[in-house]
Amino acid sequence: MEPSDPDRESSVDPHLGEVIVPEAVLQARIAELGKEITADYEGRSPLLVGVLKGAFMFMADLARRIDLPVEFDFMAVSSYGSATKTSGVVRIVKDLDLDLSGRHVVLVEDIVDSGLTLNYLVKNLQARHPASLEVCALLLKEGRQKVEPDLRYIGFRIPDQFVVGYGLDVAERYRNLPDVVAYHGGIT
């Protein structure tokens, strides 16, 4: 990327590559997802469950596009494994505050890579007997899942590469980038 805008982190950081999903495209798609959820849950009050930290920005923007009395809860998970690979073994760092029984739950995820984290979370939430449980993932990496994950709402299918921005980090950095951007190397 040309250093045309020195104020933008993405224009000066050598680890950042091409913009995979620009801000305007993200926001337009999120508006569509919000409309879909509004129509699908008409007359109900869905409980949005965000997976911290990656989904915080998506959850905030998506919720503002849902024209229903939504409620929120968050859980934080950490997966064992290297910085860029999930092992599928997930530890709940912060559990939900609310009881899911009888609730219409929409699990809001940032990115589905192998699908192992999502698989674990869906099983874990199903065991709490919600009235319904659907998944809304902003990004789905193509060709990475052994079994097609059961996602009701998908923002974008992206190629198999490591990305940062719009909530996604490397060692807690880059979450505030407004676009989803390719990340090249330098992971500690």
Given the residues 95, 113, 150, 169, select the one marked as catalytic. Answer: 113
Nearest Cα to Cα of residue 107 among 128, 89, 88, 87 = 128
User: Which lies closer to ligand 5GP via its Cβ, residue 41 or residue 107?
Assistant: 107
**Tokens 């869906």 map to which residue?**
122
- Does 13 participate in catalysis according to the annotation? no
Beta-carbon contacts of residue 76 (< 8 Å; ≥ 6 apart): 51, 52, 53, 92, 93, 94
Interface ranges with ligand 5GP (CB under 6 A) = 54, 86, 110-118, 162-164, 168-169
Q: Is 128 exposed, middle or buried (0-12, 13-18, 19+ CB in 10 A)?
A: middle
Nearest Cα to Cα of residue 165 among 157, 152, 174, 173 = 174
User: Which lies closer to ligand 5GP via its Cβ, residue 106 or residue 168?
Assistant: 168
User: Which lies closer to ligand 5GP via its Cβ, residue 91 or residue 129?
Assistant: 91
- Alpha-carbon distances, residue 44 vs 37, 62, 68, 127 (angstroms): 11, 17, 8, 22
Q: How far is the CB of 115 from ligand 5GP (least distance, A)?
A: 5
Q: How far is the CB of 83 from ligand 5GP (least distance, A)?
A: 9
User: Which lies closer to ligand 5GP via its Cβ, residue 35 or residue 91?
Assistant: 91
Q: How far is the CB of 123 from ligand 5GP (least distance, A)?
A: 13
Q: How far is the CB of 90 from ligand 5GP (least distance, A)?
A: 8
For the annotated catalytic residues, the residue numbers are 113
